[in-house]
Structure 1
Amino acid sequence: MTLSVYRAAILHFLDDPARQLDSSYEYFEDGLLLVADGKIQAVGHASELLPTLPRDTAITHYPQGLLTPGFVDTHIHYPQTEMIAAYGEQLLEWLDTYTFPTEQKFADKDYARGVAERFLDELLRAGTTTALVFGTVHKQSVDAFFEASAERNLRMICGKVMMDRNAPDALTDTPDSAYRDSRELIEKWHNCGRQRYAVTPRFAPTSSPQQLQKAGDLLREFPDVYMHTHLSENANEVVWVSELFPESEHYLDTYDQASLLGKRSVFAHCIHLQDREWQALSDSRSKIAFCPTSNLFLGSGLFNLTRAEAEGIEVGVGTDVGAGTSFSILQTLNEAYKVAQLRGDKLSPFKSFYLATLGGARALDMDDLIGNFTPGKEADFIVLDKACTPLMEFRLQQCRNLFETLFVFTMLGDDRAVQETYAAGQLRHRRDSNAVPQTP
């Protein structure tokens, strides 16, 4: 067993701070994180753990660092990396103008692999170590993604888009071909190393009832896979769904009738929900991906996080690249705070960092593996640099407590704040080399 030891300020969460703040997190102003064989061995105060180590133990010290678990992105589209920040449309027009033409390129596996490589490097640069990811309708786009992710030994979930109507011919499949391709990908990639699979109907308007039923068949045959789709993102979209599915009680019912709700079902956006939909999500233990950057960029609306909390629904944050305009979870939390402000609510920085770490892990039903520094969990963690920019360094010097420090990171932070990113105990991104080797 090779032990690696990291010294810095350390923060991780044990529960949702909205329930009980004081017992929801542990913070070690001068802490040690012990890692061996890709797993967390211990975390605690340096003063308590240093005497337990052999005298010659090498320690990597970050005097200006804050260690947190790796960020979790609960909704993102890797094929849209190249069209991030595309101007000027709302959801349905944006899909036709930018998304569908871009996604047609992913019929070429080599092209898809090149984008997947860039996409994963950007995630790591932003401190994201786990993500729930859309591919395209092409089976080879998912093979390309998983191959690139497996090489980096990342904890990722991805799925082939199912889409048999209301899209260009080059991007449509059929209920049977979508089922067949998805099944083959599940058998090849689900639980292969750190990879997992998500059955991925794009959204109800682009899947016939027959195709949604096929998605439900996959969930019955493989009960531990995920289901990933969109729900009630845009007001015009909701109207369109009611026209396409006149026999459904509401938008969510289009999925419910196909048995697509459950504890590993993640619905992105959920802005324009009816009371019955909130209740059904809660009763089924389904999860929500809150995508504030995308929702503001496309003018979709303001997600009601307070309502989700009241309904007992687990929520994670999603960048939703390419409608989202940054891979950075810190920037996404910036926008989440503003969404809450516009709703007349408050989003504390403790809740923000919970959503980005343990909350995201819970939303992906992975909190037994990732999300905090409980011994035995996978060693996915990042080093945030308190001196990453002159302004950040100056502003943080004025902070009086942890609350203010975390809030500054969510307001001013971006990929520059991420000094290093580790996945399964291995360094996968280094912004620079300010770490200082030390022996006690």
Structure 2
Amino acid sequence: MMNIYQKYYEQYYLEINAVEIETGEGVSEKMDDLTIKQKLSQIKNYIKAQGFTYPDNLIENFYLSLKTKPFVLLAGISGTGKTKLVQLFAEAIGCTSENERFKLISVKLDWNDSADLLGYSNISGDFQTGPILETIKKASNDLDNPYLVCLDEMNLARVEYYFSDFLSKMETRYFEDNRIKTDKILSKNEFDARDNTDALSKYGNLYLPDNLYIIGTVNMDETTQPFSKKVLDRANTIEFNQIELTAFLEEDYDNLKVENLKLSNEFLKTNYLKLKDLLPEKKEKITEITEELKELNKILKKANLQVGYRIRDEINFYLIEALDKNLMNKTTAFDTEILQKVLPRIQGSSLIIKKVLVELFKFFAGKDYSTENGQFADKMWKYYETNKDEIKYSKSAEKIVYMLRRYEEDSFTSYWL
């Protein structure tokens, strides 16, 4: 019997024969003519062909997160394939270390300033470039192609110390002649006045180009640093907690020899920077999304955890992209964004945190436990297990149960279990 992936593989190439270049160039040269779903299917096949299997919709989620904003966090325990996902996704769209469009940077424990990442003037007055600066410069001179940077083990050092300048510059993004630009990433003060005329000329006018995408991998354990809301508010946090040790045995790798693609920056480039960019065309969808987020905020406000305008906008961007490209339905996309943009901000030991968790479960699953006394996370879990196929926001409800269970066991909880 033909393996399902082999069958899909053959069907896929039958579909894309129509878009091959008549001069004989391979289909990987003409991938921008395919739909987003076809491109993502090819990317998934490429990743599987390398021997890595990820949960359903993870690649779509990763794509939508990058499309919404060029800064994404991949969180979870060590060894779950976070760094490998970034590398293989980059390879699948034509970004490799060989063509210098993929850069892996290992964060050092002693990083405490943006100079550790961007560069600094040494004691002799010579400018020493940081590990990311040349990639930024190269990307700025090659705007049609995407560049991916993976900050590996990003929270070994305090992220706010060495990455704050990036976060601030990212918030200055604006459109100019159909390109997205930011304020300059280095000021004249970064260059010693003695002998750095060349360095100032070479790097002084750099900004964060719209073809640069930064992905941080983070391990949440006793060796790493926690994240502040400043960081969490500016990223989609994708958690790696689904581990299927035998999933690779189900793949027919012999029939998944797929070429990597050659995609332009249009594939990942952000379309929206402000909510007004979606008006008036998407007003009805924005209203629906924002009204539901408003109801969620009423619960969060009780613990002073309500989301602000930035999160509102980026949740809207994510959902609009997901719906327009037919990658997820509204409920699944909203559930995913709650999990990635809202719940990571919740932590604490006060009684109000427990009350908020209980009310959030009611919002997600439709079951009210506010009249229960004592410990009831196990009851909540049984309800979830029995009804998860009917629960509206299933992923968020499941996470709330884990967070409540930790609260009952430790009198403290957070998203990072």
TM-score, length basis structure 2: 0.30
| Structure number with bigger Rg | 2
Which structure has greater strand proportion? Answer: 1
